[in-house]
Every structure is written in C-alpha cells, then in structure tokens.
C-alpha cells in the first residue's frame, strides 16, 4: 500500500477529541496506511527567519508543521483565504476584498509549503491536498519536479463561472488547480460549475462525465460527498451522560418544542435569516409562544475579518429584539450561546431537540445536518429542516427542504415538523440515516483514495 501524504492548512491534533469528524477520519486513515500530515501549526512568528518545519511522530504517522509569519497570517490567511476566496466561493462577491499584497502572500505561502514538502516526498507517495488555502500547491510541487499522483479536495462550494471570473486571480488559480490528477467536490453542482469553467474559459473538454482534458492534462473531476462517522456520533448521543442532559433539557419545562441550530458564526450560515424565520413562526403560529425555544449555538470564528464582526452584532441585536418582543418572565424564545461546546454535549442537545434547523445561505456540505440525523432516537426522531443551498440537500431528500431567504417558507416547514405524525418522522429518519451511512466519513476517504490510487482506470464516487 502506498504511503499517504495529507496536506491541509491546519494539521489535526491527534490528542484532541474535539477535532471535527473529518480530521479524526483522516488521522485514522493515515494511521492505517502509515503516512505524513503536513501543514500550518496554527502559530505565527515575527519573521521568515523563524520559520522552520518541526516533526513529531504519532504511531506510524509523521506530523510535519510550520508556522506562518505575522504578515502571512494577515495577508494569506485572513486577507486572501478568508477575505477573498471564502466569499467568492460562497457566491458573496459583495463581501470579497482583493489586494495585490494578499494575493502575493497566497502565492508566497503555497510556494514555501511546496519548497518544504517536496524534499520530504518519496516517489511512490500519494499526495492529497485539502481545501481552498492550498489550491496552487500541486502546481508548485510540479514546478519542483514532483511526479507523484496529486489529489485535491475542495471542502467548500465551487461558484458558477460568472461569479468566479470577478476574482482578479481566477485564471492563474484555475490553471494551477487543473494540474492535479484528481479533484474532488462535495456536490454535482460544484463539479459541474468547475467543468463548465474549464470548458468555457480554459479550452477544456469532457472526455467522460468526470474526466476533463484541460491545459494538456487529463483530470478526474468527481463528486465525493463528505460525511461523518455515524456510529461514533450516535454513541455520544446515547451515553448515560447524554441521557442526563436530555432529561435536564426537557425537565426545565419551559419549552415543549426545542429547536436547535449549531453553526460557526459565519455569514454563510444564514443566522439572521434563521432568527427572522423563527420570529415568523411565532407570528404565523402564535400557539408556539411559550411553547417553542430556538437554541442557537454559534461559536466565534475569524473575528479579525470585518464581515464576521458585523454578523455578530446583527445576530445579537436580532435575538435581543425577538426576546424583548415575545419573551416573558417564564419563557425565553431565543437562547443564543456564543462559544464552543463539547461534541458530546452537542450530540445530547441534538437528540433532545424536535427540530434541527440547518439553513445556510450557501454551504459546501454541512456536517451538522448529518450529525443531527445520527443523534436521533430512531423510534421517536426529530425532523431536519434543511436549506436547499447546503451541499447536504443534494442527498438528504427526506429532510424538509427550504429556501432560507424566504422566512415564511422556513416558518411553515418548522410548523409542519412540529405537527408531523410520529410514523412519518420515523420513516423519513430511517431513509436519512441510510443515506448518511452510505456517504459516511470512511466512504468519503476510501472513495477519494481509490480514485487517486488508480491512474489507469479512474473511479467515479
Ligand atoms: P463548517 O465546516 O463550515 O464549520 P460543518 O457543519 O460542515 O460546517 O462542520 C462544523 C463542525 O463543527 C461540526 O462537526 C459541528 O458539530 C462542529 N461545531 C459547530 N459548532 C460548534 C460548537 N459550538 N461547539 C463545538 N463544535 C461545533
């Protein structure tokens, strides 16, 4: 079995149980095959003289990490990755900021990563690069003579060509992306957007549904929907500790209907729209007053970027407004928690809530939707209300699919969930559970690696 080399902006911490499901899944895969994980260590240093890679072994995995300079952190990470690429890929050109310094920093950091990684590679290694921070890394490795199989997975959406071309760097970036052997996308929409761009703007042509001939390369561009480890999440939701938490949630007696939302406080997650939908639920169906509570858990993220500070203020104002208008001494309609919560607590809260409200305006996949399903009691499950703009909606047909921009639509769906007979809930949930098992974390990783490991006969997902 060939050695696996994973490259991602942040290297997962094998000692940290809080890491997301995908990080754990990648680490397990690395441990099984033996391999290396290369990336940023999360620290920034004053100058380039202090940048040196450090190595640590964990079982048969070598973790190689390096810091960024303070300038890289500002210009590469906050500036280009999260101030330009993130909004463009989430169709938010209005929030994107492009500067020459930031795009130079993006090129510089990727080149530095390539220069450090190239000498560490063995000829037979499979190299799998993750996400939008590292799009040009493959091309930079090729420029250094690396001939290994190179794969890339985009965890976030791929925008329509008309949106992408607004980014000054798009030509260079897409030429670099096309240098990988395998490019993985979360959904058919993302894959189709990329292929359309390659054909319409780069002179590419489709040799097969998922094989693209572009810029002298043959690229497998396929869909590999990311998933969770269903059993381990379900186990967290059914532990004795989880039972105690759920009983506490229900005993408070304040709400007969618990609605839960869990998202990083990101403008892509549609949190203000979600709160407005909850407000419409109370207006359109006043029987929910004193009966329904929305618990929104939204930990801080990327607070140095202005758009993130703005969304926080908007959310705080809205939750205060709704609580002021509707709340009473014995009922708080919106409970807003602005911090990280241990994963087992989340699992218990999901299980104890009759509605999982997942309404992003645009999202690569959205693993919270899958975690909510995994956490439910199969004999008396809650209902997932899911945005049509989450990647997960491509697959999760039995959720109540909504348009998050339409507050009334979401309010009606919540009411439908509240009134849904148990039999229908059980049937919908069983179907959803089957789907998240079919596309779990193990299958995601296995599918991508099979494609990367099989140059002669590339496999579709
Ligand atoms: P994104 O990657 O954009 O943040 P996902 O829904 O795909 O969105 O993944 C988010 C992950 O972070 C999930 O595993 C979720 O459980 C976790 N998460 C979200 N909010 C919190 C929180 N407050 N505390 C702990 N984990 C959280």
pLDDT digits 0-9 by tens, 266-298: 999 999 999 999 999 999 999 999 999 999 999
The residue whose CA is least distant from atom 14 of ligand 1 is 20
Select the more confidently predicted residue: 350 or 49: 350
Write down the pLDDT at residue 257.
95
Give the residue, out of 302, 361, 368, with the most ligand 1 atoms within 8 A of its beta carbon, to mutate for a pocket test. Answer: 368
* 346-375: average pLDDT: 97
The whole-model pTM stands at: 0.96
pLDDT in tens, 232-248: 999 999 999 888 888 88
Residue nearest to atom 22 of ligand 1 (CA): 340
Protein residue closest via CA to atom 20 of ligand 1: 263
Ligand 1 within 6 A of CB of 366: yes
Banded pLDDT at 457 (limits 50, 70, 90): very low
| Any atom of ligand 1 within 6 Å of the Cβ of 368 | yes
Half-sphere exposure of residue 344: CA atoms within 13 angstroms, side-chain side: 11
- Give the tokens for residue 236: 């967290």
**What's the whole-number average pLDDT of the chain?**
94
CB of 20 sitting under 6 A from ligand 1: yes
Mean pLDDT of 411-439: 98
Residue 442 has pLDDT above 60, yes or no: yes
pLDDT over 50 at 171, yes or no? yes
Centroid of ligand 1 to alpha carbon of 262 (angstroms): 7
> Active-site residue numbers?
155, 363
- Residue 157: is its pLDDT beyond 80? yes
Are the C-beta atoms of residues 212 and 221 closer than 8 Å to each other? yes
Tell me, what's the pLDDT at 347?
96
Residue nearest to ligand 1 atom 15, measured at CA: 368
Specify the residue for token string 């559970």.
Answer: 433
53-93 pLDDT, tens digit per residue, is: 999 999 899 999 999 999 999 999 999 999 999 999 999 99
Confidence band, pLDDT 50/70/90 cuts, at residue 1:
confident
Does ligand 1 come within 6 angstroms of the Cβ of 365?
yes
61 CA to middle of ligand 1, Å? 25
Q: What is the pLDDT of residue 355?
A: 98
CA distance 182 to 162: 24
CA 405, 406, 410, 416 dihedral sign is negative
Any atom of ligand 1 within 6 Å of the Cβ of 302: no
Q: Whose CA is nearest to atom 12 of ligand 1?
A: 20
**pLDDT band with cut points at 50, 70 and 90 for residue 231:** very high
Question: Whose alpha carbon is nearest atom 18 of ligand 1?
Answer: 263
Burial, 446: exposed, middle or buried (Cβ in 10 Å; 0-12, 13-18, 19+)? Answer: middle
What pLDDT is attached to residue 23? 82
Tokens for 184, please give them: 């993985």
The preferred substitution site among 9, 20, 315 for testing ligand 1, maximizing ligand atoms within 8 Å of CB, is 20
The pLDDT value recorded for residue 313 is: 92
Q: What is the pLDDT of residue 252?
A: 66
- What confidence category does residue 255 fall into, taking pLDDT thresholds of 50, 70 and 90? low
**Which pLDDT value is given to residue 43?**
93
Lookup: tokens for 44: 């920034």
Atom of ligand 1 nearest to the CA of 358: 6
Give residue 28's pLDDT. 83
Distance CA 349, CA 256 (A): 14
The residue to which tokens 């690696």 are assigned: 449
Q: Tell me the C-alpha distance between 209 and 203, whole Å.
A: 17
> Tell me, what's the pLDDT at 459?
41
* Residue 458 in this model has a pLDDT that exceeds 50: no
Residue 206 Cα to ligand 1 middle (Å) = 35
- Closest atom of ligand 1 to 339 CA is 23
Mean predicted confidence (pLDDT) in 244-254:
77
Contacts of 319 (CB under 8 A, 6+ apart): 275, 296, 334, 336
Which range among 148-152, 340-344, 435-439, 457-461 shows the weakest confidence by mean pLDDT?
457-461
Ligand 1 atom closest to Cα of residue 266: 3
What pLDDT, on the 0 to 100 scale, is given for residue 460?
43
User: What's the CA-to-centroid distance between 205 and ligand 1, angstroms?
Assistant: 37
Residue 16 pLDDT level (bands cut at 50, 70, 90): low
């Amino acid at each position: 079995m060939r050695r696996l080399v994973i490259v991602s902006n942040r290297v997962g911490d094998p000692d940290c149980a809080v890491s997301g499901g995908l990080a754990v899944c990648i680490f397990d895969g690395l441990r099984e095959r033996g391999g290396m994980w290369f990336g940023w260590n999360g620290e920034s240093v004053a100058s380039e003289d202090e940048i040196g890679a450090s190595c640590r072994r964990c079982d048969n995995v070598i973790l190689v990490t390096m810091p960024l300079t303070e300038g890289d952190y500002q210009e590469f990470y906050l500036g280009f990755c999260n101030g330009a690429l993130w909004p463009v890929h989430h169709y938010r050109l209005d929030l994107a900021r492009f500067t020459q310094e930031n795009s130079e920093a993006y090129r510089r950091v990727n080149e530095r990563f390539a220069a450090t990684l190239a000498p560490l590679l063995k000829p037979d290694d499979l190299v799998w690069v993750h996400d939008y921070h590292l799009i040009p890394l493959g091309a930079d490795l090729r420029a250094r003579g690396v001939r290994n199989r190179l794969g890339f997975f985009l965890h976030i959406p791929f925008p329509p060509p008309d949106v992408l071309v607004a980014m000054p760097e798009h030509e260079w970036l897409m030429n670099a992306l096309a240098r990988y052997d395998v490019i993985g996308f979360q959904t058919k929409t993302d894959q189709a957007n990329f292929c359309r761009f390659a054909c319409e703007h780069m002179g590419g042509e489709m040799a097969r549904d998922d094989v693209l001939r572009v810029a002298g390369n043959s690229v497998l561009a396929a869909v590999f929907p990311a998933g969770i480890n269903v059993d381990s999440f379900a186990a967290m939701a059914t532990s004795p500790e989880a039972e105690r938490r759920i009983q506490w949630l229900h005993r408070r007696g304040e709400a007969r209907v618990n609605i839960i939302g869990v998202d990083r406080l990101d403008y892509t997650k549609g949190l203000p729209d979600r709160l407005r939908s909850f407000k419409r639920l109370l207006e359109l169906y006043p029987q929910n007053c004193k009966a329904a509570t929305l618990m929104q858990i939204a930990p801080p993220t990327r607070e140095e970027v202005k758009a993130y500070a703005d969304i926080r203020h908007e959310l705080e104002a809205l939750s205060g407004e709704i609580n002021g208008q509707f709340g009473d001494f014995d009922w708080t309609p919106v409970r807003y928690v602005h911090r990280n919560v241990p994963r087992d607590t989340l699992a218990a809260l999901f299980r104890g809530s009759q509605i999982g409200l997942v309404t992003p305006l645009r999202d690569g996949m959205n693993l919270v939707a899958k975690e909510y399903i995994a956490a439910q009691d199969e004999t008396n499950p809650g209902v997932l209300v899911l945005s049509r703009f989450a990647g997960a909606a491509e697959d999760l047909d039995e959720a109540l699919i909504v348009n998050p921009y339409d507050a009334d639509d979401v309010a009606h769906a919540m009411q439908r969930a509240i009134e849904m007979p148990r039999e229908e809930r059980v049937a919908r949930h069983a179907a959803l559970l089957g789907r998240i098992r079919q596309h779990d974390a193990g299958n995601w990783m296995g599918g991508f690696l099979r494609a990367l490991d099989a140059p002669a006969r590339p496999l579709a997902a």
